[in-house]
């Protein structure tokens, strides 16, 4: 699928992986509560195998999100961030509007995400707590602890 792009004021959202600033992504994720342990190689591989959304101000990347998806039934939205300097301007909401409206996401049967502190960002897009969390299972390597509560 061709890269998707949209503009609002001086900001651009693009799914073009060539526009991504890997150094900024690695730096932000390295300081996050959910991905601090990821190596650069892991981040590169995760980007290569995901649908990505970059937010840019005059070519400088200021936001990011990615969707891990089969494009038919399921997606997991993750690694969502907006640079602290740009928060409070509605850019996270704008980015999520375009993530959820993207043709490879919009008609999926199930879209999930995990967050410790941004529930109110995602609720307007229909995200709710798991209605039956006892049905969900996970598998983690021995000794690995989740950064999420």
Name all domains of the chain by residue range, CATH numbers in brackets: 5-135 (3.40.630.30)
Give per-residue pLDDT as tens, 45-88: 999 999 999 999 999 999 999 999 999 999 999 999 999 999 99
- pLDDT at site 143: 73
Average pLDDT value over all residues in the chain: 93
Q: Which pTM does this prediction carry? A: 0.91
Dihedral of alpha carbons 127, 99, 73, 75, sign? negative
For the chain, the 3-state helix, strand and coil shares in percent, each to the nearest 5, are 30, 25, 45
Rg (CA), the chain: 15
> What average pLDDT score do residues 132-136 get?
91
């Amino acid at each position: 699928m061709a890269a998707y792009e949209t503009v609002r004021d001086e900001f651009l959202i693009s799914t073009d992986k060539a526009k991504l600033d890997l150094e900024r992504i690695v730096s932000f994720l390295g300081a996050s509560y959910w991905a601090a342990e990821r190596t650069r190689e892991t981040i590169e591989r995760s980007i290569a195998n995901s649908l990505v959304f970059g937010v840019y101000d005059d070519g400088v990347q200021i936001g990011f999100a990615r969707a891990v998806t089969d494009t038919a039934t399921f997606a997991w939205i993750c690694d969502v961030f907006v640079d602290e300097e740009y928060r409070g301007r509605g850019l996270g909401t704008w980015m999520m509007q375009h993530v959820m409206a993207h043709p490879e996401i919009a008609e999926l049967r199930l879209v999930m995400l995990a967050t410790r502190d941004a529930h109110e960002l995602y609720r307007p897009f229909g995200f709710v707590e798991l209605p039956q969390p006892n049905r969900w299972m996970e598998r983690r390597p021995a000794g690995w602890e989740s950064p999420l509560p």
